């Protein structure tokens, strides 16, 4: 059996790559007018390549000092279960650890059912002492 070669690249996805992954994992329709500026303001990003195709992505947004948020970790469904999400998360967390010079906060929102994936990296639900909240504009 031939093993599929995957390559992690430290770069942000293009708007088209981001949209394809976003929509393939069921996050709805990507707002491409907002995607370009959002990606450009990211601190760090990675993509996973399989041949010529981008099959995974992840990025970090935040202030680059104390607050970091892991965003848009996605792997195409046909490539899930092969350790690609682990590679993405390892890279993103290594970036934060190399850039945060003290106590820092790393946050994320997980898609329903993916809590256990993020727990292996030390993420936890701190309720009721701390509650994560968010507001979606334009809906």
Q: Using alpha carbons, list the distances in angstroms from residue 33 to 15, 29, 130.
A: 9, 12, 33
Q: Which domains does the chain have, with CATH numbers?
A: 7-119 (3.40.630.30)
- pLDDT for 82 equals 95
CA 111, 117, 119: angle at the middle one, nearest 5? 105
pLDDT level of residue 1 (50, 70, 90 thresholds):
low
pLDDT at 49 over 90: yes
**Is 134 a residue whose pLDDT tops 80?**
no
What's the order of all strands across the beta sheet hosting 53-62?
7-9, 44-50, 53-62, 67-75, 105-107
Residues above pLDDT 90, as percent of the chain: 65
How high is the pLDDT of residue 135?
A: 67
Give per-residue pLDDT as tens, 100-117.
887 788 888 777 767 777
**In this predicted structure, what is the pLDDT of residue 30?**
92
Please name which of 20, 37, 30, 12 lies closest in space to residue 91, comparing C-alpha atoms: 12
* pLDDT tens-digit readout, 57-101: 999 999 998 899 999 999 999 999 999 999 999 999 999 999 888
């Amino acid at each position: 059996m031939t093993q599929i070669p995957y390559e992690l690249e430290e770069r942000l996805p293009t708007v088209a790559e981001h949209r394809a992954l976003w929509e393939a994992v069921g996050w709805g329709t990507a707002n491409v007018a907002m995607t370009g500026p959002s990606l450009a303001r990211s601190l760090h990003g990675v993509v996973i390549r399989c041949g010529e195709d981008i099959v995974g992505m992840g990025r970090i947004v935040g202030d680059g000092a104390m607050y970091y948020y892991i965003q848009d970790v996605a792997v195409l469904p046909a490539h899930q279960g092969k350790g690609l999400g682990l590679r993405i998360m390892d890279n993103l967390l290594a970036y934060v650890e190399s850039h945060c010079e003290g106590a820092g906060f790393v946050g994320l929102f997980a898609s329903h059912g993916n809590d256990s994936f993020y727990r292996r990296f030390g993420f936890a639900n701190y309720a009721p002492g701390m509650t994560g909240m968010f507001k979606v504009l334009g809906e």
